[in-house]
């Protein structure tokens, strides 16, 4: 997986959740992070789309469970 994508995605997550000292990995999911609820998830996906200039298909969004999944969605949707 692309380390730059991972770093940008985790920066978005930390910023959205207003938690600067989060320790995140590819397998980290919303269940592992306090405050990462459904509203925060939508915000994170929206911010990822803006950051990378992409649109993630709704069905793909439904399948996203981990940070690795978010990174893979970025890779899948880049031109």
pLDDT tens digit sequence for 8-22: 999 999 999 999 889
CATH number assigned to the domain comprising residue 44 = 1.10.1200.10
Average pLDDT, integer, range 51-62? 95
Indicate if the pLDDT at residue 49 is higher than 70: yes
Average pLDDT, integer, range 37-53? 97
**Domain count within the chain:** 1
Sign of CA dihedral 72, 49, 38, 12: positive
Structural domain harbouring 59? 3-77
- pLDDT at position 1 is 63
pTM, to two decimals? 0.93
Q: How many CB atoms lie within 10 A of CB 41?
A: 16
Q: How many CB atoms lie within 10 A of CB 39?
A: 9
Indicate if the pLDDT at residue 39 is higher than 80: yes
């Amino acid at each position: 997986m692309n380390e730059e994508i991972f770093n940008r995605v985790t920066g978005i997550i930390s910023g959205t959740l207003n938690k600067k000292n989060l320790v995140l990995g590819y397998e980290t999911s919303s269940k592992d992070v306090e405050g990462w609820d459904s509203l925060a998830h939508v915000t994170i996906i929206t911010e990822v789309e803006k950051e990378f200039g992409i649109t993630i298909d709704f069905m793909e969004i439904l399948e996203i469970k981990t940070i690795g999944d978010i990174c893979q969605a970025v890779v899948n949707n880049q031109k």
